[in-house]
């Protein structure tokens, strides 16, 4: 979860480079409840890790570089 689109785009690109992802992460805008303003949105960088090869602590640290955080479904 990242604070803006620019951060999400940068993070998605860097994720692929750093972790050697087979598939490109998907960006999704998550409007805050009750807000219509485009500024009041967070961006999700969605990636699949079905083989569980990515370290959650390393992903937390990575997301923090863009003032973001990691969430699991």
Radius of gyration of the chain from its Cα atoms, rounded to whole angstroms: 12
Whose tokens are 């998550």? That residue is 30
Establish if 54 belongs to a structural domain. Answer: yes
Residue range 15-67, pLDDT digits in tens: 989 998 888 899 999 876 555 555 568 899 999 888 888 999 999 999 999 88
The residue segments making up the domain with residue 50 are 5-64
CA 20 to chain centre: 15
- Total domains in the chain come to 1
**For 1-73, where are the alpha helices, taking DSSP H only?**
5-19, 56-64
Residue 28 confidence (pLDDT)? 93
Establish if 73 belongs to a structural domain. Answer: no
Q: Which two tokens stand for residue 43?
A: 């961006």
């Amino acid at each position: 979860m990242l604070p803006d689109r620019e951060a999400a785009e940068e993070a998605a690109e860097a994720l692929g480079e750093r972790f050697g992802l087979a598939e490109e992460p998907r960006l999704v805008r998550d409007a805050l409840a009750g807000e219509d303003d485009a500024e009041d949105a967070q961006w999700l960088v969605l990636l699949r890790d079905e083989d569980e090869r990515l370290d959650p602590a390393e992903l937390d640290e990575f997301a923090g570089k863009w003032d973001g955080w990691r969430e699991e479904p």
